[in-house]
Structure 1
Amino acid sequence: MAFSAPAGRSELAEINITPLVDVMLVLLVIFMVTAPLLSQPINAMLPQRTDRQVEQQPPNDLVLKVGLAGTYTLDDRPVTLAALRGLLEDARVSDPKTVLQVEAVEGAEYRALVSALAQADASGIRNIVMRN
């Protein structure tokens, strides 16, 4: 059973968009009326600029050099491995942000470097930087 147009009528089926436009215009008016009512200012406490400058001290930098044959120098002063831990603990107590910069000369023993790092770790210094 097929549907077909009668022989004398050749009409095209078209969608009536008038109700669709009416609904869209009503929705547009509703949104235009309610949008200003929904926007409210936010009460926020923002940080204010201050003119005084906060004086920050740079962290205490120590340079530990591991030399040939297991020699150590801390800030260009010769030190033994046994005394190294005590000096590093004193530096950490005086400034908890102490930075230890460790550098080994070419040809230094790996064991000496690891021993120095172990003493630094045991002293409680957590900011350790390896340099060349």
Structure 2
Amino acid sequence: MAFSAPASRRELAEINITPLVDVMLVLLVIFMVTAPLLSRPIDAQLPQPVPDAQRVPPNDLVLKLGLAGDYTLDDRPVSLAELRVRLEDARIADPETVLQVEASAGADYQQLVSALAQAHASGIGHIVMRD
């Protein structure tokens, strides 16, 4: 005895997309409700650029170290003891003073370190080494 299913009762192999559409519509409603809440403007005050006429360039000092260990600050000879006093005066006059240090190729390293120590002790915060 053989059992067979009638030809009219075949199974349909199709995906039911109705629950998928329902879920997508619910998500769409949730996103539509929450999107305006997430796009609030932020109250912030951004810094405004300063016009070039109001900008004052920092005071640049050039310290040169010669081969013989002599120091010149802005093309004027200066001793190591006097260097600190002159740098302190420049820093007090303009806190943004930039010291540009330029040493000769064969200059003594200890002389350069001594000059940098005096610059640091004077409170100069911006020191630039040049060729």
Same fold at TM > 0.5: yes
How has the CA–CA distance of structure 1 residues 38 and 6 changed in structure 2, closer, same or farther, with 3 Å as cutoff?
A: farther
- Count of paired positions: 127
Structure 2 residue matching 1:42: 3-state secondary structure: coil
Instruction: Supply the AA of the counterpart residue of 1:91.
Output: A
Instruction: Supply the AA of the counterpart residue of 2:13.
Output: E
Per the TM alignment, residue 105 of structure 1 is displaced from its structure 2 partner at its CA by 0.7
TM-score by length of 1: 0.75
Instruction: Supply the AA of the counterpart residue of 2:29.
Output: I
Give structure 1 stretches of 5+ with no counterpart: none
Instruction: Supply the AA of the counterpart residue of 1:115.
Output: S
How has the CA–CA distance of structure 1 residues 102 and 15 changed in structure 2, closer, same or farther, with 3 Å as cutoff?
A: same
Per the TM alignment, residue 27 of structure 1 is displaced from its structure 2 partner at its CA by 1.8
Structure 1 residue matching 2:85: 3-state secondary structure: helix
Q: Is residue 2:88 matched to residue 1:95?
A: no
Per the TM alignment, residue 69 of structure 1 is displaced from its structure 2 partner at its CA by 1.6
Structure-2 separation of matches of 1:110 and 1:14: 88
Residue 118 of structure 2 corresponds to 119
Q: Please identify, of 103-112 and 34-43, the stretch whose mean Cα deviation from structure 2 is larger.
A: 34-43
Residue 67 of structure 1 corresponds to 66
Per the TM alignment, residue 112 of structure 1 is displaced from its structure 2 partner at its CA by 0.7
Per the TM alignment, residue 14 of structure 1 is displaced from its structure 2 partner at its CA by 2.7
Overall identity of the aligned pairs, in %: 47
Structure-1 separation of matches of 2:114 and 2:17: 88
TM-score by length of 2: 0.76
Structure 1 residue matching 2:86: 3-state secondary structure: helix
Instruction: Supply the AA of the counterpart residue of 1:94.
Output: A
Instruction: Supply the AA of the counterpart residue of 2:104.
Output: V
Q: Is residue 2:93 matched to residue 1:56?
A: no
Give structure 2 stretches of 5+ with no counterpart: none
How has the CA–CA distance of structure 1 residues 17 and 82 changed in structure 2, closer, same or farther, with 3 Å as cutoff?
A: same
Structure-2 separation of matches of 1:120 and 1:63: 12
What is the CA deviation profile of residues 76-118 of structure 1, one whole-angstrom value per residue up to 9, with x for unaligned ones?
0011111000000000000000000001011111111011001
